[in-house]
Amino acid sequence: MNKRKDHIPKKDIMYILKEDNSQYIVNESYFYKTEPYYAIVKNENDGIKTTPSSSDVLDAYIVPICLEKAKLAGIPVCDWIISNVYVSLPAIVYGLNYFSTPSDHFLVSDLEEAKRVIKHVTNRGRYPFCYQKINDTSSVTKCVSIFGKTLNCCNQAKSLALRIYEVFRLPLVEIVLVKDESGCRLSSLAPVKYSQLSNDETEMLQNLLDKRVKRFE
């Protein structure tokens, strides 16, 4: 029976994978003003090539900016609208306030449900929100991307994950996709906790981190 010397990844731990003269920051989240974000900025100030970059992580987690950046790169994305009150149903709703995260998205299909969700994501009307109109037949699916590689996803999602990694360079990210008769479209990119990974995904990440990694606890 094979036994690992140490189980990784561990909750809340940031890992630095060193490759030649560059570094890859691996973490559950890269939000602004978090430890990984500051580590990236420090590296950039010190002239160390770092993946992801500070601009990559800022762009990735703000849904409208993420989708426009992906669209410019030729990635199929959901159409989006910023609103304060109105939403066209059915739709996916995302908050845009400082504390919002793309992990918290809401599928709304009726008016009362939409009112409740909008009240929540806008903090009772204090902030705007973003919504994406979808079809009645649309489905929302998620897949985890580890350095652009995915497991247990359809071929189109696997292809999109590689293209998304080329644009945003996030070593670990959850990709939210809308699937319908026209195919897969990007809805958002979101943080992913190590505990959310499947056994196979954890094994994939462990194998990468086992190579050359420095961890910060």
Nearest to 145 by CA among 164, 123, 167: 164
- Interhelix angle 63-72/155-168, rounded to 10 degrees, is 100
Instruction: Phi first, then psi: give them for residue 196, nearest 5 degrees.
Output: -85, -15
Residue recorded with tokens 């293209």? 163
How are strands ordered across the β-sheet holding 22-26? Answer: 49-51, 22-26, 14-19, 213-216
What per-residue confidence (pLDDT) applies to 6?
56
What per-residue confidence (pLDDT) applies to 172?
97
What per-residue confidence (pLDDT) applies to 176?
97
What per-residue confidence (pLDDT) applies to 111?
93
> What is the rounded distance in angstroms from the CA atom of residue 86 to the CA atom of residue 60?
25
pLDDT tens for each residue of the chain, 217 residues long: 344 445 678 888 999 988 878 999 999 999 998 999 999 999 999 999 999 999 999 999 999 999 999 999 999 999 999 999 999 999 999 999 888 899 999 999 999 999 999 999 999 999 999 999 999 999 999 999 999 999 989 899 999 999 999 999 999 999 999 999 889 999 999 999 999 999 999 999 998 887 655 555 4
Domain ranges across the chain:
14-75+138-216, 81-133
Instruction: Phi first, then psi: give them for residue 51, nearest 5 degrees.
Output: -120, 125
DSSP label at 46? T
What per-residue confidence (pLDDT) applies to 19?
82
CATH number of 14-75+138-216: 3.30.470, 1.10.287, 2.10.10, 3.40.50?
3.30.470
Report the b/e string of 68-92 with b at 16+ CB within 10 A.
Answer: ebbbeeebbbbebeebeeebeebbb
Angle, CA of 163, 160 and 151, to the nearest 5°: 115
Tell me the H-state helices in the chain. 35-45, 54-60, 63-72, 111-121, 155-168, 199-209
